[in-house]
Amino acid sequence: MFMLAGQQLIIMGLLMAIGFIAYKSHFIKPETQKDFSNILVYIAMPSVIINVFQRPFDNDTLRMIGWAALASASIYLLSILIAEICFRDSKVANPEHQVALKFGTIFTNASFMGIPLAQAVLGDDGVLFMVIHLIGYTLFQWTYGITLYRKNPEPWKAQLKKLSLNPNMIATVVGIGFWLASFKLPTLIGQPVSYLASLNTPLSMILIGSNIATAQIQSAFKRKHIWQGFALSNLIIPLISIFVLQLFPLSPVAFQSLVLGVSCPVAGMVVIFAVLHDHHNQFPVQLMCMSTALSVVTIPVILSVLEWMH
């Protein structure tokens, strides 16, 4: 697993480098980044989710999905507790930085980086359990995550509506429906869905690389709180998660997939939410970019610990 993950991270790093160079060379512009994001969120990612559920139903997988969902929820709740303790008012004076650090500690880029990694290292079963982890991501992001940015959170009915309209959530419900019915898409539909799903890895890595190109990385290395956020998100939470996940009767693939999901760098939504709520975006961009750039080192470290323990 370690070697496969290392090879995949090198490939992903090269794709990110292409995105970095393309942005610096003006082949990719800010409006292009937005278009790429829309294609990923509304087309490629839902296709990946539907594609992974194109399999016959079986009770063992259903039971394991239940345990994986419970284990994933436990990790999110633990991450929330740790973030609230480590980044309380007495520790971080700037309220906007505090919000970004809490959000970045809890939510990882498991969609853009986790799914390609799981696909390369663990196959379709790994992607299946990564999707289960992403269900927790969506639920917690649009409940707890959004309250970090809003002083007056929306009523629960409005939050529920946003959850139900999330494209990944819709794709998950549709995919699970197909799986429960053991329904396989006809070739004329299934093949295009498969082709669209294959866009996820190269497009997401190029987009991440172009985002890194916009950050002032040099000044990020001088900020203490950036380092603290990076350490918690990339190392401490994943290492704690390895021990917590052992409390659940997970299959090796489910266990490894959840560890991969937690080990991914800070989610890009930390920047998007900052922009949407009129926060200065330099700090969250630096946090996300440092976490992403150094994840090519930290993810192998986490996986080596996982292999050593098993």
Quick one: pLDDT at residue 310?
67
- The average pLDDT across 77-87 equals 94
Within 10 angstroms of residue 209's Cβ, the number of other Cβ atoms is 26
Cβ-in-10-Å burial (0-12, 13-18, 19+) of 59 comes to exposed
- The average pLDDT across 43-63 equals 89
- What residues have CB less than 8 Å from 185, skipping those under 6 apart? 50, 54, 178, 193
End-to-end alpha carbon distance in the chain: 12
pLDDT at 187 over 80: yes
Quick one: pLDDT at residue 155?
66
Quick one: pLDDT at residue 290?
86
User: At residue 12, what is the residue type?
Assistant: M
**Residues 207, 210, 213, CA angle at the centre, nearest 5°?**
155
Quick one: pLDDT at residue 77?
95
Q: Which of these, 258, 280, 249, 268, lies nearest to 98 by C-alpha position?
A: 280
pTM beyond cutoff 0.75: yes
pLDDT at 244 over 70: yes
DSSP one-letter string for 104-119:
HHH-B-IIIIIHHHHH
Q: Which of 98-107, 156-165, 206-215 has the highest mean predicted lDDT (pLDDT)?
A: 98-107
pLDDT, greater one: 60 or 41: 60
Tokens (6 digits) for 75: 């990790």
Domains and CATH numbers, the chain: 2-309 (1.20.1530)
The confidence band for 64, taking pLDDT boundaries of 50, 70 and 90, is very high
Quick one: pLDDT at residue 152?
64
- The average pLDDT across 161-178 equals 83
Within 10 angstroms of residue 195's Cβ, the number of other Cβ atoms is 11
